[in-house]
Amino acid sequence: MPPGNEPMDIIWKDIPSSPTENLTKLSQFVGAYATATIDKSTKVSIFLREREERIARLEQQFEIEKTIVNKQATKQIVQLQKNMEVLRIRHGENISTKNIQIQELQEAMEKYKYVPTVNEFIKEALDLNSILSKQQDLFY
């Protein structure tokens, strides 16, 4: 900026000749700036209001969807709890049945524990046969 020029003179590129003309241009400049600023502030206000309304609608929609999801999740949890209880009951019944079957098998094993085997029968038969043979020899 050349020395001697006022900062406001740069806006108009030439130095006005009278102070009244300078004030007139300045008031025109301020008026145009004020109008542009008011116009921009109105647009910003409208934009902010629309944005706040949109945010409010989105929050409301979110709350509705959240409620729906919570209800569905609650229903699923209740159903899963019912299914789990049914499984517990069936599992308990299966364990009881298996315990009874095991007990029955153990009892059957105890019964047959003292039943002689084929080899024992053969040995006993041979022993009896030899005793009978000896007795027969005694009588003849």
pLDDT tens profile 8-39: 544 545 555 665 666 667 666 666 676 767 77
Residue boundaries of the structural domains of the chain: 18-139
Mean of per-residue pLDDT scores for the chain: 80
Which pTM does this prediction carry? 0.43
CA 86 to the chain's CA centroid: 24
- Calpha distance 85→81 (Å, rounded): 6
